[in-house]
Amino acid sequence: MIKIGICGSKGRMSQEIINLLKNRDDLVINGLWEDFKNIEKEEYITINNEKVFYSKDINCLINSDIIIDFSHPSKQKAIYNFLNENNNIKLICGTTGLEEKDLENLKLLGNKTTIFYSPNMSYGLNSLIFLLDGFLKLYKDYDIELLETHHINKKDAPSGTLKKILSKIKEIYPNKKEVYDRHNLFKEKDINEIGISSIRSGGVKGIHQIIFGNEFEIIKIEHEALDRKVFANGVLEAINFIKDRKNGFFTYDDLIKFKINYLENK
């Protein structure tokens, strides 16, 4: 049985993961770290008829095999220090809005333990991004717009997922430049400009659109998350991918490649 610790354990995404893991026979929650939101005195959940208490002390995760992090960017230093001292513990990180230094630290930790990082845990969306290379090469002479829509409580904009899509585009076309606001430009769009828009409205779980256009046609590639369970299930995919790995820094691209290789050789 794999012991799972949860960082940011009272957040919306963490609660989805907790509900998914509660009835698993192969995975058990053994630590709930929450150092951002309030905790009621002796607040707990019940796992296999045992109480697991929420804690402000990160050392509640000390006996975990894997910790899952959907906390807050401000908690990354504490998580880094904890894993640096306890490098027998693996990490799955889905926290968005990380700074470049945070990502560098995660990669450094990959020398000691197993790190899986993805700002979006949807298997479907990550598959779409993985396959995006072909579209980009076929639509070389089309202009590109990127649009993401999320609920009103999401703080970072654009989303980490949109940034990943943008990074994929710029890998193939490094001369393309992102434009976040056109209202002061007063000029025609250049084909090397990538228009980027963010919408925050209601309770939208997440919609990402990639729009290719020329004077004859518009092509839209869209992914919509209908329920946060899609991200929780994606975390299960990540657990299965890293559970037997000793060290390394991995992303969903590595998971998709592994899946493709497995299916081709099945």
Contact criterion met (CB below 8 Å) for 61 and 89 = yes
| 137 is a catalytic site residue | no
Cis peptide before 73 (omega within 30 of 0): no
| 154 is a catalytic site residue | yes
Give me the catalytic one of 150, 164, 176, 223.
150
Residues 194 and 171: their CA atoms lie apart, in Å, by 14
Run of H or E residues at 260: helix 252-264
Measured over the CA atoms of residue 202, residue 208, residue 212 and residue 216, the dihedral's sign is negative
Angle, in degrees to the nearest 10, between helices 252-264 and 229-242: 70
Token reading at 114: 């197993």
147: left (phi over 0), alpha (psi -120 to 50) or beta: beta
| Lateral strand order in the sheet of 114-117 | 44-47, 50-55, 27-33, 2-7, 66-69, 90-93, 114-117, 248-250
Give me the catalytic one of 72, 154, 168, 243.
154
Known catalytic residues are 150, 154
